[in-house]
A and B are shown apart, each in its own frame.
Chain A
C-alpha cells in the first residue's frame, strides 16, 4: 500500500514561479485589505500563513517521506510555549530556569525551532523504529502526551493557557504591528518554501523520497533510511515549532488547545487538501482550510458537520489535492 505519489519535483522554473506567485499574492493582502477597508482580512491571512508554514513543515515528512505524523500540533505548541514562556517572563508572571526572559524574535524564534526540533528528534527515535499504522498511533499518542503535559503545567497557565503582555521586537524594532508582523510571516513562509524546494531536490531529498517508495531497495543500495528520516523529522518539527512561535506571537497567547490531536489532524487535512506531492501544496491547502472554516463557522453553529463532510468528500474524490486542479486547469488552458 503506497501513499500519495511523491512525484519527483524539479527545481524547475514552473514550480519556482508557482511559489513566487503564491508569495506575491499573500504579500498583497494588506493592500487589498486596506482598499476594501476590511481589517479582518489580515487577521485571516495571518492565520493562513502561519498554518501554511506548519503544514509545509509537516508535508516534508508526510508528502515526501511517506510518514503520517499526528504529532505536529504538539511540536507547533512547543514552539508556541517557548516564545510564550520567554515573553511572559518579562511580565514577571512566570519564571523558567532554561529559557531567557526575552521578547526578541531574533533570539526566541531560533530557540523555539531548536527546542521543537529536539523534541521531534527524541520522539522520532522511538516512532521511526516502527512503520505504518504503528507510526501513526505512536505519533498520535506523543501528541496527547505533550498536550497533557502542558495542561498539567499550572505554572504556565495549565488548561487556560499562557497570556503575555510584553512587546515583541525584531532586532530591537517593535514587531507587533498587525501589518509588519504579517509581512514578517510571509517572509518566513517564503524562506521556508524556498528552502524546502532546495531540500526536496537535493541528495537528502532524493533519499527521503526514495525511502517513502521502497525502503528495502534503498537499504539494498547501501543507504540506511533511518538517519535520513530522523533528520527530516527533526527538521520538520523545528519548522513546525517556528510556526507555533509565530502563532503565539500573533495573539500574545498560547494554550494547550493549539496542540490538541485535532489540530494535528487539521494539519494533515491541509496537506492532503493542497496536494502532497508539491512543496507549495500545503499553502493552498491551508488557505482553503482556514477560509472555509471562517466562512462555515460564520454561517452556522453546526458548521463542523459540513466541515467533516467536506473532509470525507476530499478523501473520496480529490487524490492529488487542489493544486492538481490548478495544474489541470492550466494545462487545459494552454492546450486550447
Chain B
C-alpha cells in the first residue's frame, strides 16, 4: 500500500467515522436517556438529505440547503417524538422495535410518494467541486475535505457540550440515572424532546453530508442506521465518548477492510470487530449503565 493510498483511504475512513458519529450520537443518547431503541433514526438521515436536495435544486445554494434542512429535520424529529415515540419510552424493547419498524415503512413510503423512486441528484457547491493537493501526488476532493472539517467541528462541539456544559451534565445525568436526574430537578420531558431534536438534526446533517457522495434515495438510511447501531453497541450504549471512538474505529476499519481484503471478508470486518470487542466487553468499550 502506497503512502498516497494510505492517506486517501485514511481520510475516507475518518470521514465515514465522522458521519457515523453524527448518527450514533443521537442514537446512543436517545437510548441512554429514554431507554428507547429508535430505528427511525435512519429515516431522519434520509429526510435530511431529501430536504437539502430539494432546497438545493430550487435555490442552487448549498448553504441555504443546510440552513433549511437541518432545522427542518430537527422539527420532523420533534413531531415524530411528540406524536408517536414518546408513548413508547416505558414499553418493552420489542414494542419499540416493532413500532419504529412500522414507522420506517410509513416514512419510506411517504418519501417515495413525495420524491418518487428515482434517486435525486445533489449537485456539489461550485467552490467545493474541485480537488486539492494534500500531499505530493495526492489530490483529494475538496467537498470531502469540507465534510470532514464540518463533521469534525460538529463532533467536537457536541463532545464539548455534552461533557463540559450544564445542559450536557443534565443529559449525562439522564443517561446514567433517570430517577436521579428527575430528583435533581431536571425537567426530564424537556430534556427528552431536546435530545431527540438534537439527535434528529445531527442525523439530518449526516444525511446532507452523504447526499452529494451517494445517491439521495428511499432506503438510504437503513445501511447507515445499522452501522451506527454497531458503533453505539461497541462504544457502550449511552456513552458519547464511546460513540466517538467507536465511530472512528469503524469508519477506518470498514474503509481499509474494503480496500485490503477480499470482498466477502471486507464486508464482514466491522461485524467481526464488533463480535470480538463484545466477547471481551459485553457492554461495550465505555459502559454507562450499571
Given the interface pairs A134-B233, A152-B264, the reply to whether A140 lies near B102 with Cβ below 8 Å is no
Q: How far is the CB of B104 from chain A (nearest CB, A)?
A: 7
Find residues 92-106 in chain B having any chain A CB closer than 8 Å to their own CB.
Answer: 92-95, 97-99, 101-106
Query: Nearest Cβ distance between residue B49 and chain A, in whole angstroms?
Result: 20
- Is B226's CB under 8 angstroms from A261's CB? yes
CA separation between A141 and B250, bound complex, in Å? 13
Residues of B within 8 A of A4 (CB): 92, 94
Given known contacts A141-B233, A265-B98, A305-B105, what 19 new A-B pairs fall within 8 Å (CB)? A62-B94, A125-B279, A126-B275, A129-B278, A130-B278, A133-B31, A133-B35, A136-B37, A141-B271, A151-B267, A152-B263, A153-B263, A268-B98, A268-B101, A272-B98, A304-B109, A307-B105, A312-B102, A315-B99
Chain A CB within 8 A of B183 CB: no
Enumerate chain B residues within 8 angstroms of A133, measured Cβ to Cβ.
Answer: 31, 35, 37, 93, 237
Does A315 lie within 8 Å of B106, measured CB to CB?
no
The answer on a CB contact under 8 Å between A68 and B94 is yes
A sample of 10 cross-chain residue pairs with beta-carbon separation below 8 angstroms, ordered by A number, consists of: A132-B93, A134-B237, A137-B229, A141-B233, A272-B94, A302-B113, A305-B109, A308-B103, A308-B107, A314-B98
**B222: which A residues are within 8 A, CB to CB?**
261-262
The listed residue (A130, A136, A138, A145) touching B93 by CB distance below 8 A is: A136
Q: A138's contact among B98, B107, B274, by CB below 8 Å, is which?
A: B274
Q: Which residue of A lies closest to B98 (CB)?
A: A315
Interface string of B204-243 (1 = CB under 8 A from A): 0000000000000000001100100110110001000000
Closest to A308 in B: B105
Establish whether residues B106 and A309, one from each chain, have CB atoms under 8 Å apart when the complex forms.
Answer: yes
Q: B61 interface residue, CB < 8 Å from A?
A: no
CB distance from A95 to the nearest CB of B (A): 16
B-side residues, CB < 8 A to A, are 31, 35, 37, 84, 90-95, 97-99, 101-110, 112-113, 222-223, 226, 229-230, 232-233, 237, 263-264, 266-268, 271-272, 274-275, 278-279, 282-284
Question: A78 near B: Cβ within 8 Å?
Answer: no
Given the known A-B contacts A138-B233, A142-B271, A312-B84, are A126 and B93 also in contact in the complex, defined by CB atoms under 8 Å? Answer: no
Report the minimum CB–CB distance from A227 to chain B (whole Å).
17
- Is A149 engaged at the interface, CB distance under 8 Å to the other chain? yes
Question: In the complex, what residues of B have CB within 8 A of residue A154's CB?
Answer: 263
Q: Are A305 and B110 in contact (CB under 8 A)?
A: yes
Residues in chain A near residue B104, CB distance under 8 A? 308
| Residue ranges of A at the interface with B (Cβ–Cβ < 8 Å) | 1-4, 62, 68, 70, 125-126, 129-130, 132-134, 136-138, 140-142, 144-145, 148-149, 151-154, 261-262, 265, 268-269, 272, 302, 304-305, 307-312, 314-316
Which residue of the partner chain B has the closest CB to A269? B98
- Tell me the interface secondary structure of chain B in the complex: helix
Given that A137-B37, A305-B105 are contacting pairs, would A144 and B283 also be in contact in the complex, using a CB cutoff of 8 Å?
no
Let me know if A140 and B229 touch, CB within 8 A.
yes
Residues of B within 8 A of A132 (CB): 93
Chain A residues within 8 Å of B264, by CB: 149, 152-153
Question: Across the interface, which residues of A come within 8 angstroms of B278, CB to CB?
Answer: 126, 129-130, 134, 138
Whether the pair B105, A141 counts as a contact (CB closer than 8 A) is: no
A272–B263 alpha-carbon span in the complex (Å): 36
| From A2, A138, A142, A316, contact of B92 by CB (8 A) | A2
B279-A126 in contact (CB<8A): yes
Q: B284: which A residues are within 8 A, CB to CB?
A: 134
Smallest Cβ-Cβ distance to A62: which chain B residue: B94
Of A145, A308, A309, which contacts B271 at CB under 8 A? A145
| Top 3 A-B residue pairs of the complex, sorted by shortest distance between their CB atoms | A308-B105, A311-B102, A145-B271
- Is there an interface contact between A141 and B98, defined as CB atoms closer than 8 Å? no
Report A-chain residues with C-beta under 8 Å of the C-beta of B223.
144
**Complexed CA–CA distance, A136 and B38 (Å):** 12
Given contacts A68-B93, A126-B279, A304-B108, contact A315 B102 (CB under 8 A): yes
Chain B residues positioned under 8 Å from A141 (CB to CB): 226, 229-230, 233, 271, 274
Looking at A137, A272, A302, A310, the one whose CB has the most chain B CB atoms below 10 A away is: A137
Q: Determine the distance from Cα of A307 to Cα of B107 in the docked complex, in whole angstroms.
A: 12
Whether B105 contacts A129 by the Cβ 8 Å rule is no
Bound-state CA distance A1–B35 (Å) is 11
| A68 cross-chain contacts in B, Cβ below 8 A | 93-94, 97
Q: In the complex, which residue of chain A has the Cβ closest to the Cβ of B105?
A: A308
Distance in Å: Cβ of B30 to nearest Cβ of chain A: 11
CB nearest to A311 among chain B residues? B102
A144 with B102: CB separation less than 8 A = no
Tell me the smallest distance from the CB of B190 to a CB of chain A, in Å: 24
Alpha-carbon distance A312/B109, docked complex (angstroms): 15
Residue of B nearest to A148 (CB): B267
Q: Please name all residues of chain A whose beta carbon is closer than 8 Å to the beta carbon of B95 when the two chains form the complex.
A: 315
Residue of A nearest to B91 (CB): A1
Please name all residues of chain A whose beta carbon is closer than 8 Å to the beta carbon of B99 when the two chains form the complex: 311-312, 315-316
Return chain A residues, CB-CB under 8 Å to B109: 302, 304-305, 308
B104, closest chain A residue (CB): A308
Given contacts A129-B278, A149-B268, A305-B109, contact A136 B226 (CB under 8 A): no
What are the residues of chain A within 8 A of B31 when measuring CB–CB? 133
Q: What chain A residues lie within 8 Å of B112 (beta carbons)?
A: 302
Instruction: Among A140, A269, A309, point to the contact of B226 (Cβ < 8 A).
Output: A140
Q: Is the CB of A137 within 8 A of B263?
A: no
Residues of B with C-beta under 8 A to A261: 222, 226
Instruction: Name the residue in A149, A268, A315 with the highest tally of chain B Cβ atoms < 10 Å from its Cβ.
Output: A315
Chain B: minimal CB distance from A239 (Å): 20
Give the most central of B84, B94, B263: most A CB within 10 Å: B94
